[in-house]
Structure 1
């Protein structure tokens, strides 16, 4: 750890926050709320929190698992609103390196799961307003998630297959704001910043008779810190809830995405001495990879998604929920395949239709005189992809190389029972059965018919115990299991360019966890978790086939041991302090690399995950309407790879890593009312100490292009106007 980096960052933090101390002591009153009302409003953030992590409403502190939570203040106030990582950094156990590359989804890992993917999100299930943003094959996407209208996010850390299906690392639940019931509003928000950043937002919401509504339209543009990182993105997000009667309601959610430009700068080698076509972080960390420029690497996306959620209470015992959803996605991409000059790149045309639904009933009653809640239900999903690949002739479309349909069908049934043994001791038992079927139909027969199919079925049991030792102390423990199937792109044949790898199995994990959490007097919230996860049949990249696609094998077994600690406390009215720490000792207990010079490489660290991370935040919300938030993040070094073979066939063993770093960010704003108009200017500085660091690692990249540099010091500013 470079102590000079940390010392410089902390000294700068003190100098930056000190000038605002007179403001913190002010006792001014805004036009519409007294100081006491404002302080009371902020104090609510540390009250008991009800979440839906277990698919039913329950106190966060009464769930026998590690669950994190961030609210609207954390997500929206003064944020640049570039990605979910801005606010989810407050939750321990999550690793979300921002690659500042909007061609690729934000890299998300929970307890080490999710980092094997160079695109999309794997091993973690994502839901928005109860509707899945994760496909039946396990791939997730977040490009349709609208930060500007997000009310709260909940994160389950650890295997969650007993309730949610294939979810090795955990679950992220995201919820859109409701419209205010007292007075409708229209809000305009505009922000601009470094690297030609701009984001404009128009939001409206309210209540009309039985109809509650929220609609948000945003436009996002960024040229980017590195060359060839331009992004243009327009997103419409809406939610309409109709109260049918006092016991039932129907919610419609709809989102429309238009992303015509999302350039991909690629990863860089450590230095340019690796090869003539391998651009290095040294000498130019802002450069795009050589071949990414040559082949004009990037993507365009159009997507429409619709969801229906029906809820019905029957007496005081039954809570029924039914869901139905549809997604249409058109995806075109240009890929920089091939490390050498003269080798064609690739192009993808993908048309996707995803639909599904589910039904559940939560039945609450007494059982032998004890409180009991039984939740049963099922989910069913279908994914239909039409995929064509072409040669990429320096940005122009070449010959067809792949034409196939990729269909995935999954269904699962689940049961969970929460039984109160005593008033202070609750036992949770759950189990789920899933089947996932893959079918690939090959229409490009120049290299023979390489159609194929696979079917996976898994039981996922779970048991948890929560003991309320004291009003402020809740001890918990659980044993849970998970499985994770290959995605459609991980079935690539080792031979290629088409084909199907029928030898793959689902990887399975078992999680053992104990912890403590609670609310202490004086409004202090805390969580501590200690866990071990054993995984067998780990899906790992093994090389690249003749078509440039990475193929996978089940050649790994891993052991993950970790500690996650989080603390939020209020030393003064309106002043919140957040601290968290994550320790991750993740290693391969078995790692087989075949071929000359290969063998067993047991004991290697799982790449892409820092061993230690820490986060600290000081947030002040003054009665005057001013708020200021200072946050600090420390990240340990990150290994780039496990032992693997380069595309050239050469063996690469673990050793290279991105250096550790410490970051300091600050944002502030001021909210005041002029008549019925709320006026909020805001300003932010990222990477105050101007660190040169690596934002993301492309794990096991076959040409050693591991590194994606992040921006140095950058700023943004904006204003929002709300009319009521």
Structure 2
């Protein structure tokens, strides 16, 4: 990547070139818009998003990225902070453990997240193999929309956790030129230069971003660099299209999991085995290219199509072996929306199709990296195994919202799902193959009642369906190559068969604006069958096994409140935002574990921030994060301790919205705690290496400047 000094020059040149092309096509200078909407316009975009999601009879979140960007924004942990129902914790790099309603409850941090359907600008990012994180650069985002649980139905999201849509900037909301720089503790640096503009019927946005850090924990150094670009064109009032490009490289050293004793006495120490092997996770270059085209048939109906090519190779050096993976996904989407009047009642109908498929070249080669164990006597680089994992997801969904009485809406829907999973060991000879193809269905029934303009009540009953990852079929296998199989001796030979995870969920809640502030509240109860749960079989394991569990229950409460506490005469404001998530996930009369809690997540999770804004643009805030204890194994024989963190932010937003600076202080008491847990099966009360430490006390400083 070019140096930071050359980035603003390059982007300014690109902006001027786009303007020159527009003028060459005969556009008058008066038609060129070179400034982003003002703050009031950006507020309107967020309000529209909230109003649209409020038409869904269930829990949802809208993250206005202007707020997180008034502090350090390094990963999804920062993006999804203060969101009820969303648990997002980082183990020290971009690999953030995200769970909504217990989705992917115990995936190892940094692995392909499960149980969520992630989208980039409404286009599929999640594939049969999960959701790689390297394209989720937070500085590229305008907002994030979260539809918890089955509330993502109309977007084709039928996994337990729901849908997360990361929506990037366009020329309509981006400055002509913007430069941002942040630095701080543990060698952290982050730089971005971007440009956006509207040129008649054409608009564009482009940004270059890079970051690096030494990491809080030893052996967690990271580097990343990437580019985003999108170009939209409106052919006429009824037809518009937009092309999207994302490219990003990441390289993360891995510190592994450690014991609770290690966190208490040496929180920055890495797992010695990971340091000795020099483990790392490199994604040498991931590419996302897509198009979304919308045709407005008339005032009451529209068609939108989408097409995505997503290529994401990985070079995994974790453990004694080296795994090189070549993933390529192709996705297509189709959405039809229509508004009618039925029996004098307003009706809104949707029909959608989502198809994502691994291309045939998706597969992996595995080589000896460090002689030892079953690879003793073989040189590094010795070829061990080749295996493939293919898959596809197809979802056809039909939905309707019918106003059956004044301000009372009935939501109905039905989805048909086909999942295909296949894994085969192609080298050496004697490897097995597993192929699974399953049809399933997901109905949905909901009600929402706008009792007053400031009070809405809702409820829904729905079903979710989630297929296993194709790669888990081989990694979870218990059939191994026998002695005498060369370097493949002891490795998995025959992929296993796994069933789709299903859940039936009841949700009740409401949202509104009252004297105490803007609030939301949701309660849900889900009966889950064949839950896909992962377990690390021993402390030295690097890849979790994924198997179907006996029946489980996921239930919880999700609450948020934003209150204005004081507005003095000078125009300032004292405000308090809070979010609380209660999570009770447990077995239902399991033969081995009874009603034990599922490990990996805290039962209670609270975040709060008290903030004062001065009319001149200065602001100051105090924040806290509280988490209860976390079970470390399925036997519930050991626990990670509860913790309380405190932080503060100070900053200044210029009244003209042209520059901003901030100081972000984290973990002021230098609390030592486990940020994430990767569970074991039964640790028999022993302190086993299952946890990753959270960041200690840290200070970050940032500044941004915009030309509008």
TM-score, structure 1 as length reference: 0.83
CA distance in 1, matches of 2:537, 2:674: 25
Match of residue 194 from structure 1: 185
1:116 to 97, 106, 110: 106
Identify if the C-alpha distance between structure 1 residues 630 and 206 changes in structure 2 by more than 3 Å, giving closer, same or farther.
Answer: farther
For the 8 Å contact 1:74–1:87, the answer to whether it is kept is no
Q: 1:269 to 1:245 in 2, by over 3 A?
A: same
The 3-state SS of whatever aligns with 1:81 is coil
SS in 2 for 1:148: helix
1:237-386 mapped onto 2 (5 Å cutoff): 237-259=228-250, 261-271=251-261, 280-281=262-263, 283-301=265-283, 302-336=285-319, 345-384=320-359, 385-386=362-363
Deviation digits for residues 517-576 of structure 1, max 9, x if unmatched? 123369x32111111111011223467599975433323211122111111122325443
The answer to whether the 8 A contact 2:423-2:495 is kept is: no
Q: How does 1:139-178 map to 2 (within 5 A)?
A: 139-160=130-151, 162-163=153-154, 164-178=156-170
The 1:147–1:113 alpha-carbon spacing in structure 2 relative to 1, beyond 3 Å, is same
Q: Do the aligned partners of 1:185 and 1:204 also contact (CA within 8 Å) in 2? A: yes
| Stretch moving more, 542-551 or 244-253 | 542-551
Task: Choose the corresponding residue for 2:367, options 385, 390, 396.
Answer: 390
Provide the rounded CA distance (Å) in 2 between the counterparts of 1:579 and 1:49: 19
Q: 2:556 aligns with which of 562, 565, 568?
A: 562
Aligned partner (choices 610, 614, 618) of residue 606 of structure 2:
614
3-state SS, counterpart of residue 97 of structure 2:
coil
Q: Which residue in 1 is equivalent to 2:22?
A: none
Counterparts in 2 of 1:46 and 1:329: CA distance versus 1, 3 Å: closer
Counterparts of 2:659 and 2:157, CA distance in 1:
45
- Structure-to-structure mapping, 1:12-91, within 5 angstroms: 49-51=47-49, 59-77=52-70, 79-91=71-83
Relative distance call for 1:146 and 1:87 in structure 2 (3 A) is: closer
- 1-structure distance, mates of 2:225, 2:39: 33
Shift of 1:671: 2.9
Q: Distance in 2 between matches of 1:634 and 1:548?
A: 29
Q: Which residue of 2 aligns with 1:19?
A: none
Contact 1:215/1:239 (CA < 8 Å) preserved in 2?
yes
Q: Deviations along 1:588-646, whole A, 9 cap, x unmatched?
A: 11434xxxxxxx2111111111111111112333321212333211111111121xxxx
**Compared CA separation, residues 543 and 296, structure 1 to 2 (3 A):** closer
Query: 2:526 aligned to 511, 526, 533, which one?
Result: 533
Deviation at 1:176, TM superposition (A): 0.9
Cα deviation, 1:171-212, whole Å, max 9, x if unaligned, reads 11111122247x952111111111011011111111112111
Deviations 1:253-282, CA, capped at 9 Å, x for gaps: 1111122x31000000234xxxxxxxx335
Q: Flag the 1:629–1:319 CA change in 2: closer, same or farther, 3 A.
A: farther
Question: Distance between the aligned counterparts of 1:134 and 1:511, measured in 2?
Answer: 22
Q: Which residue of 1 aligns with 2:588?
A: 589
Whole-angstrom distance in 1 between the partners of 2:546 and 2:170: 43
1:657 and 2:661 matched = no
Counting matched residue pairs gives 637
Tell me which residue corresponds to 1:700: 680
Hey, what's the Cα distance between the residues in 2 that align with 1:239 and 1:467?
38
1:693 Cα shift?
1.3
Consecutive unaligned residues in structure 2, runs of 5 or more = 1-37, 373-378, 481-490
Contact 1:453 1:502 in 2 (8 A): no
**RMSD of equivalent CA atoms:** 2.5
**SS of structure 2 residue aligned to 1:292:** helix
Contact 2:424 2:495 in 1 (8 A): no
- Once residues 429 and 637 of structure 1 are traced to their aligned partners in structure 2, the CA distance between those partners, rounded to angstroms, is 39
- Contact 1:160/1:481, CA 8 A, preserved across alignment: no
Q: Report how far residue 507 of structure 1 moved.
A: 1.2
Q: 1:46 to 1:577 in 2, by over 3 A?
A: farther
Q: In structure 1, which of residues 624, 630, 645 is the aligned counterpart of residue 622 of structure 2?
A: 630
In 2: Cα distance, 1:708 partner to 1:547 partner: 15
Conservation of the 8 A alpha-carbon contact between 2:432 and 2:495: no
1:231 corresponds to:
222
Compute the displacement of 1:101 (Å): 3.3
Q: Provide the rounded CA distance (Å) in 2 between the counterparts of 1:553 and 1:268.
A: 24
Tell me what 1:399 maps to: 382
Q: For 2:466, which of 484, 487, 490 is the aligned residue?
A: 484
- Residue of structure 2 in register with 1:576 after alignment: 575
1:681 and 2:661 equivalent?
yes
User: Alpha-carbon deviation of 1:701?
Assistant: 7.6
Distance 2:46 2:141 in 1: 20
Q: 2:703 corresponds to which residue?
A: 719
* 1:455-470 matched pairs, under 5 angstroms: 455-470=437-452
Q: 1:717 to 1:161 in 2, by over 3 A?
A: closer
- TM (normalized to structure 2)? 0.85
User: Deviation of residue 141 (structure 1)?
Assistant: 2.2
Worse overlay, 627-636 or 453-462: 627-636
Say whether the 8 Å CA contact 2:420–2:435 is kept in structure 1.
yes
Counterpart-to-counterpart distance in 2, 1:42 and 1:585:
41
Quote the residue 1:135 is aligned against: 127
- Tell me the residue number matched to 1:98: 90
Partner of 1:499: 493
1:309, distance to aligned residue in structure 2 (A): 0.5
Instruction: Label 1:437 to 1:559 Cα distance change in 2 as closer, same or farther (>3 A).
Output: same
Q: 2:211 aligns with which of 198, 220, 231?
A: 220
Question: Using a 3 Å threshold, how does the CA distance of structure 1 residues 620 and 44 change in structure 2: closer, same or farther?
Answer: farther
Q: Distance in 1 between matches of 2:97 and 2:184?
A: 23
Residue 49 (structure 1) shift: 3.1
In the aligned structure 1, how far is the partner of 2:188 from the partner of 2:542? Answer: 34
Partner of 2:433: 451
Measure how far apart 1:142 and its partner are. 2.4
- Equivalent residue for 1:208, pick from 199, 213, 233: 199
What's the offset of the Cα at 1:669? 1.8
Structure 1 unaligned segments of length 5 or more: list them.
Answer: 1-39, 53-57, 272-279, 337-344, 593-599, 643-652
How far 1:500 moved relative to its partner? 4.0
Give distance in 2, aligned partners of 1:452 and 1:547: 24
Over 3 Å counting, the alpha-carbon distance change for 1:552 and 1:684 in structure 2 is closer
With over 3 angstroms needed to count, the CA separation of the structure-2 counterparts of 1:41 and 1:720, relative to structure 1, is: closer
